[in-house]
Amino acid sequence: MEIDVVETPPAEVDADVLAFAVSDPVELPPAGQELDRLVDGELRHLIDEGELKGERGKATFLHTNGRITAHRVGAAGLGARAAQDADSLRTAAASIAIRAADVGGRSVAWVLGEDGLSAEEQVRAIVEGTALGPYDTGRWKTRGNDRRQPVERLVLCGPGAAAAAEQAKRANIVATWTNRCRDFVNAPPNECTPVRLAEWAGETAGRFDSLTFESLGPDEIRAAGMGALAAVSQGSDNPPRLIKLTYEPPGAKKDVFLGLVGKAITFDAGGLSLKPAERMEEMKSDMGGGAAVLAAMGAIAELALPVRVLAVVPSCENMPGGHAYRPGDIITALNGKTIEVTNTDAEGRLILADALWHTRESGATHIVDLATLTGAMVIAMGDYYAGLFSNDPDWAAFIREAAEASGDHAWIWPLHETYRRYIDSSFADMKNSSEFRQGSPILAARFLEEFVGEGPWAHLDIAGTAYLERGRDDYYDCGGATGYGVRLLVELADRLSA
């Protein structure tokens, strides 16, 4: 998406739609009042007739008939003033972008408001809503008229817009990589295999001198001692990959080395502990954490953030078959600990175990992992907040602040030592699941903690937020992948580089 930031008066900006935001109940902001005067009071007439509404996500268009330069004026609802936040503006921007595409518009101009969010916060929200809102899940449809069309050009104007030009550029880069993540998570499992995911990582590294790429295949994974990743992958004909991207920018801090770990099960049938057939097609999304980590690395490199980052993405399929690992097997992870397998559908924590230990042993000082790990997280938190677990309260708080600023929201969960008893095994150092239907996200995080070594670590269970069963009532109005984690990880890396 092309972005222009101009100091031109809004009435003189050339665009298919000139948009501004309104609250509920509707009161025209100063920019709206001036536009209403120029269009002979027709905006006020629409308010009086009940057509122009301030409800969150509502968009109302008015033809200007040449009275100003833009072809249409668009008013987007933010909802009640007391409930407004950056997500309200993202949703407003998405509603304008989607409606603009419906009427053939390809360019949108936004007038920044004069109160509420800062100019930089507004610019970020408007850019993200405009880029993420019209995202099209139907890349595999053959009829072009069934496809959503993106906004090609976004113009930002009004108070403070010029000073926020760099924020606009940054937000556009991050949103573009977020949508690239969505493409891979939405991709069918016959297209997005572990090998293809590794190829994408290699292609990303090829674009930036600051990125280096490495990929381990089945023999190398076994030779390295990654018994957990090897076990999960052995039931599939599609070979696994351990994918690594290392970002080493000039002038980066030497005392911080951020480790990003992402679960990438490109299809999860549950192994021999087979999942139910209902909605199994959505298990192509079990690589949402890995895709977010790889996309975030692309964004971090493009933004040239001055912080060292290592991404480690274990990727495989979890399939039943004659070679599949079994309940009752005891496997040895990279750190030497033994694990009794009691449920082959608790596979994500196994592949993460090897990846986490490898990340710490590679020198990461701070680690965060992302995984679509437990169905219980979806039940507990729905599709808006991810669960955040950590061995370090300060690191958890730091990530939570980055999450809220980015729009990828997270909520801190407890991780008390008493949960360790849930994974006690009579035969091995631990088992990978519990027979009790209690605290599943917590005991999964406690399992991962066994493999993080010394230093701050956090786990984000993104099972509800990475892939939506249905659209949310915001700028994610359709189901499918959200790209959760890309914006959060970039924000985290940015803050660590400060």
Residue 240 banded pLDDT, cuts 50, 70, 90:
very high
- Strand 153-157 versus strand 107-111 pairing type: parallel
3-state secondary structure of 409: coil
| Spatial contact of 368 and 392, defined as CB atoms under 8 Å apart | no
262 φ, ψ (degrees, to nearest 5): -130, 125
Could you tell me which residues come within 8 angstroms of residue 101 by beta carbon, excluding any fewer than 6 positions away? 134, 148, 149, 150, 151
Work out whether the CA dihedral 265, 268, 270, 275 comes out positive or negative.
positive
**pLDDT of 115:** 82
Measure CA 220 to chain center: 30
Does the structure show a pLDDT above 90 at 143? no
Q: Catalytic site residues? A: 275, 349
**pLDDT of 295:** 98
Binning the chain into helix, strand and coil, the percentages to the nearest 5 are 40, 20, 40
Round to whole Å and give the CA distance between 103 and 107: 11
**pLDDT of 111:** 98
Residue 498 banded pLDDT, cuts 50, 70, 90:
confident
Does the structure show a pLDDT above 90 at 370? yes
Does the structure show a pLDDT above 90 at 128? yes
Comparing 149 with 482, which gets the higher pLDDT? 482
Q: What is the pTM of this model?
A: 0.97
**pLDDT of 443:** 96
**pLDDT of 238:** 98
Comparing CA positions, the residue from 458, 379, 372 lying closest to residue 413 is 458
Task: State pLDDT tens for residues 244-261.
Answer: 999 999 989 889 999 999
Could you tell me which residues come within 8 angstroms of residue 429 by beta carbon, excluding any fewer than 6 positions away? 337, 338, 339, 450
Task: State pLDDT tens for residues 386-428.
Answer: 999 999 999 999 999 999 999 999 999 999 999 999 999 999 9
Task: State pLDDT tens for residues 302-358.
Answer: 999 999 999 999 999 999 999 999 999 999 999 999 999 999 999 999 999 999 999
Round to whole Å and give the CA distance between 109 and 87: 19
Round to whole Å and give the CA distance between 35 and 32: 5
Residue with tokens 């066994």: 450
Q: Angle CA(175)–CA(177)–CA(236) in degrees, nearest 5?
A: 135
* Percent of the chain at pLDDT exceeding 70: 100
Task: State pLDDT tens for residues 50-106.
Answer: 999 999 999 999 999 999 999 999 999 999 999 999 999 999 999 999 999 999 999
Does the structure show a pLDDT above 80 at 146? no
Round to whole Å and give the CA distance between 184 and 285: 9
Round to whole Å and give the CA distance between 109 and 168: 13
Could you tell me which residues come within 8 angstroms of residue 272 by beta carbon, excluding any fewer than 6 positions away? 235, 320, 324, 325, 326, 327, 344
Does the structure show a pLDDT above 80 at 367? yes
Instruction: Provide the Cα torsion 318, 319, 322, 325; round to 10°.
Output: 20
Average pLDDT over the chain, rounded to whole?
A: 96
